[in-house]
């Protein structure tokens, strides 16, 4: 099968694009491999951007996914910075903003997502930031000076990570969240409360149900923030952490089946058998929505690249992601269920606490573990083994959970 494909084109060179290219080369694809990226800096990891890079503890080179000689050896035909603007599926060609037209035998869409800014005009205001790219993190990092006032719009994972990093740098931080609790889309109320307490303890002013937010630049370079039309403070910088927009437009406009993201089968194939997709832009084949996480981008891309080469490799990983805030490493395993079942809090002291959710059949549905990576590892095995779990043992911190090893 590999021999019949002579040219593969990948659009997007983030986590998923990088792992797709690497997997293709590692698995014997010797034909032309072309990549289009609208960022000049490619093949880097985004998780450190809101953490170590923003704090000035990690430089750009350390975020690179593979050593330079490994990237060199991939023998890639680069088109960057350039943007793919249209796919002609009949001619099997992709048109770029530069006017170039690139052919393909197989196409892989790894266009990811981008930071959502709810009001377009906000992007024009000096002092308003998003954190999606290395350039964003560098620009924001330069403004994080002790004593400055930082507003964060949105109490989701990225907003909270930026809040933690900025507090550590000695800024005065306020989080404005429209909803009634933090990270409401991904965690149960108990976890929202935990996050709220964590940030309040560190001196962050968390304003829930804050009302309609508006921003305006001032002559002094600060940003004026108002809530429901009433002035609510001036800030030296504002970070908009209002979620991400899935960059599915290229595939959608080419007529590929699209819901919240590009629809793919378990092997990453879209509704066009010559086009694959992976990472933030593609739905999770079992869950039916996009999972925006580092592990998903990597593993879905590996599975799609192998499948594209004819080695059908279904992808069904349980969602897993992490967040680092202050002294807490927070890991999230599984997907929120339908609300039935049992919620368990396991508090082991010393900052180690977990929020476990069993489905109606007592099987693990999701788990959020703070400073307990071992429990997450065990949880992955429980899910894989479809193990039924005793709630009373999970809730008792005196019980060693290794007794429940599958």
Ligand X SMILES: Cc1cc2nc3c(=O)[nH]c(=O)nc-3n(C[C@H](O)[C@H](O)[C@H](O)COP(=O)(O)OP(=O)(O)OC[C@H]3O[C@@H](n4cnc5c(N)ncnc54)[C@H](O)[C@@H]3O)c2cc1C
Residues 149-208 that bind ligand X (CB under 6 A): 158
* Interface with ligand X, residue 261, by CB under 6 A: no
For residue 404, the SS3 value is helix
* Nearest residue (CB) to ligand X, 6 versus 41: 41
Structure tokens at 98: 């530069």
CA dist., res. 243 & res. 25, Å (int): 34
Between the CA of residue 142 and those of 53, 89, 137, what are the distances in Å? Answer: 11, 44, 9
Residues 326-365 that bind ligand X (CB under 6 A): none
CB of 65 to ligand X, least distance (A): 10
CA dist., res. 337 & res. 366, Å (int): 8
* Interface with ligand X, residue 109, by CB under 6 A: no
Candidate list 8, 11, 275, 378; residue touching ligand X; CB under 6 A: 11
* Nearest residue (CB) to ligand X, 12 versus 285: 12
Candidate list 23, 165, 292, 325; residue touching ligand X; CB under 6 A: 292
* Nearest residue (CB) to ligand X, 172 versus 322: 322
Burial 187-210 (b: 16+ CB within 10 A, else e): bbebbbebbbebbeeeebebbbeb
- CB under 6 A: which stretch of 168-176, 184-192, 230-238, 318-326 binds ligand X? 318-326
Beta bridge partners of 275: 107
* Nearest residue (CB) to ligand X, 242 versus 344: 242
- CB under 6 A: which stretch of 100-108, 217-225, 321-329, 336-344 binds ligand X? 321-329
Beta bridge partners of 356: 344, 367
CB of 323 to ligand X, least distance (A): 5
Candidate list 83, 202, 226, 371; residue touching ligand X; CB under 6 A: 83
Residues 110-149 that bind ligand X (CB under 6 A): 110-113, 131-132
E strand map for 294-358: 320-325, 328-334, 342-349, 352-358
- CB under 6 A: which stretch of 104-112, 217-225, 259-267, 362-370 binds ligand X? 104-112
* Nearest residue (CB) to ligand X, 173 versus 232: 173
Structure tokens at 296: 């998903």
* Nearest residue (CB) to ligand X, 2 versus 83: 83
The 33-72 site mask, x for binding ligand X (CB under 6 A), equals ---xxxx------xx-xx----------------------
CA dist., res. 74 & res. 69, Å (int): 9
Candidate list 266, 294, 329, 345; residue touching ligand X; CB under 6 A: 294
* Nearest residue (CB) to ligand X, 297 versus 358: 297
Q: Are 131 and 116 in contact (CB under 8 A)?
A: no
CA 125 from centroid of its chain's CA atoms: 25
CA dist., res. 236 & res. 145, Å (int): 10
Q: Are 67 and 41 in contact (CB under 8 A)?
A: no
Candidate list 10, 14, 236, 290; residue touching ligand X; CB under 6 A: 14
Residue with tokens 């959020």: 368
Residue with tokens 């967040």: 323
Considering CB under 6 A, how many residues would be counted as binding ligand X? 36
* Interface with ligand X, residue 94, by CB under 6 A: no
* Nearest residue (CB) to ligand X, 13 versus 232: 13
CB atoms near residue 31 (< 10 Å): 14
Specify the DSSP class assigned to residue 319. Answer: P
CB of 102 to ligand X, least distance (A): 11
Cβ within 8 Å of residue 72, ≥6 positions away = none
* Interface with ligand X, residue 210, by CB under 6 A: no
* Nearest residue (CB) to ligand X, 171 versus 247: 247
Q: Helix and strand tally (H, E) in the chain?
A: 9, 23
CA atoms within 13 A on the CB side of 294: 14
Specify the DSSP class assigned to residue 97. Answer: T
Per CB under 6 A, residues contacting ligand X are 11-17, 36-39, 46-47, 49-50, 83-84, 110-113, 131-132, 158, 247, 250, 279-280, 292-295, 297, 321-323
């Amino acid at each position: 099968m590999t021999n019949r494909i002579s040219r593969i084109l990948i659009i997007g060179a983030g986590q998923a694009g990088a792992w797709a290219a690497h997997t293709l080369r590692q698995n014997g694809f010797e034909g032309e491999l072309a990549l289009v990226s609208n960022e000049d800096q490619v093949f880097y990891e985004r998780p450190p951007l809101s953490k170590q890079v923003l704090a000035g503890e990690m430089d750009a080179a350390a975020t690179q996914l593979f050593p330079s000689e490994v990237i060199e050896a991939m023998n890639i035909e680069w088109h960057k910075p350039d943007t793919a603007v249209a796919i002609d599926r009949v001619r099997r060609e992709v048109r770029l903003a530069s006017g170039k037209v690139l052919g393909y035998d197989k196409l892989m869409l790894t266009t990811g997502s981008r930071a959502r800014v709810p009001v377009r005009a906000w992007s024009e205001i000096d002092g308003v930031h998003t954190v999606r790219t290395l350039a964003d993190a560098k620009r924001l990092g330069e403004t994080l000076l002790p004593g400055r006032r930082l507003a964060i719009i949105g109490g989701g994972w990225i907003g909270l990570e930026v809040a933690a990093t900025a507090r550590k740098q000695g800024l005065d931080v306020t989080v404005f969240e429209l909803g009634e609790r933090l990270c409401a889309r991904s965690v149960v109320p108990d976890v929202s409360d935990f996050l709220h307490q964590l940030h309040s303890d560190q001196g962050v002013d968390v304003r829930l149900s804050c009302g309609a937010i508006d921003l305006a630049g001032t002559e002094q370079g600060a940003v004026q923030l108002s809530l429901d039309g009433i002035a609510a403070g001036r800030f030296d910088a504002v970070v908009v952490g209002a979620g991400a927009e899935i960059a599915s437009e290229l595939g959608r406009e080419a007529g590929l089946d699209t819901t919240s993201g590009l629809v793919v089968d378990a092997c990453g194939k879209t509704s066009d058998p010559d086009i694959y997709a992976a990472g933030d832009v593609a739905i999770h084949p079992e869950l039916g929505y996009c999972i925006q996480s580092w592990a998903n981008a990597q593993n879905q891309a590996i599975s799609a690249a192998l499948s594209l080469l004819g080695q059908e490799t279904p992808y069904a990983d349980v969602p897993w992601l992490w967040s680092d805030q202050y002294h807490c490493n927070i890991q999230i395993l599984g997907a929120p269920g339908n609300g039935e079942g049992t919620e368990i809090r396991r508090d082991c002291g010393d900052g180690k606490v977990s929020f476990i959710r069993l489905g109606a059949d007592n099987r693990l549905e999701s788990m959020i573990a703070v400073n307990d990576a071992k429990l997450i590892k065990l949880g992955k095995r429980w899910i894989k083994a479809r193990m039924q779990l005793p709630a009373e043992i999970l809730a008792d911190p005196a019980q060693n959970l290794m007794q429940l090893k599958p």
